[in-house]
Amino acid sequence: MSPVGIQGAQNLYPTEEIDWVVGDGLKLDFHHEFDIVHVSNFSPFTMVDSLETEQAKLISGQIMRYLKQNGLLVFVWNSRLDESDPQGTWANYSIKQIARYFEAVENANYLGTWATHSQLSTLFGSCSLSNFVTQLTAAGARFHSKTARIVAAVQKL
C-alpha cells in the first residue's frame, strides 16, 4: 500500500486494533494468517497485458498465500464492463473475464463473480450480489457510461 493510502485509512479508522503496514502487497511476510483478504482496485491487475498471462495468474497466487485454509479472497474492481481501456491506464474488465480468471485459481473453490452499482446496493441491500443485480448492472452499463463494480470471491482449499 502507498503511505498516502495508509494515512487516509488511518484517518478514517482511528483504532489501535489494526496493524497498518506499508509494503508491496504481493510480497508481504504473512503466510496462511488471514480469514479474509480484500483487494479493491489493486493496480497490479491492470499492469498485465491480459488476465490470461502467467504474470496475471501469479498475482492471485501471491495473494492467496496470505489466507488460512477456507479463507476468503474478495476481489473488487471498478469497470465499465466493456473490456475497453480508453486511457490505457485502467482495464475495464468484463464480468466474463473476471469470472474466467478466478475460476482458474488453483487450490481454491470458486464462489462467484457479480456486478453491482452503489445505487443498486443501496436499493437491494444484502441481495446486491446476485444474478439479478448483475444482469441489471450489465444492462445499465450498456446504456450509460457510469462505472460498475465487479465483485468476485474464491475460498482457499
Ligand X SMILES: C[S@@+](CC[C@H](N)C(=O)[O-])C[C@H]1O[C@@H](n2cnc3c(N)ncnc32)[C@H](O)[C@@H]1O
Residues that bind ligand X (CB under 6 A): 1-2, 5, 24-26, 40-44
Q: Enumerate residues 6+ apart whose C-beta is below 8 A from 76.
A: 38, 39, 40, 41, 149, 150, 151
What is the nearest approach in angstroms of ligand X to the Cβ of residue 6? 9
The smaller minimum CB distance to ligand X, of residues 26 and 157, is found at 26
The smaller minimum CB distance to ligand X, of residues 149 and 156, is found at 149
What is the nearest approach in angstroms of ligand X to the Cβ of residue 114? 17
What is the nearest approach in angstroms of ligand X to the Cβ of residue 33? 17
Residue nearest to ligand X (CB): 25
- Find out whether 136 and 121 touch, Cβ atoms under 8 Å: no
Q: Which residues pair with 149 in a beta bridge?
A: 78, 116
The smaller minimum CB distance to ligand X, of residues 38 and 157, is found at 38
Helix (H) or strand (E) run with residue 24 in it: none
Which residue do the cell numbers 470471491 mark? 153
Alpha helix positions (H), the chain: 3-12, 54-64, 95-103, 118-124, 131-143
Beta-strand pair 108-116/67-79: unpaired
What is the nearest approach in angstroms of ligand X to the Cβ of residue 153? 16
The smaller minimum CB distance to ligand X, of residues 5 and 61, is found at 5
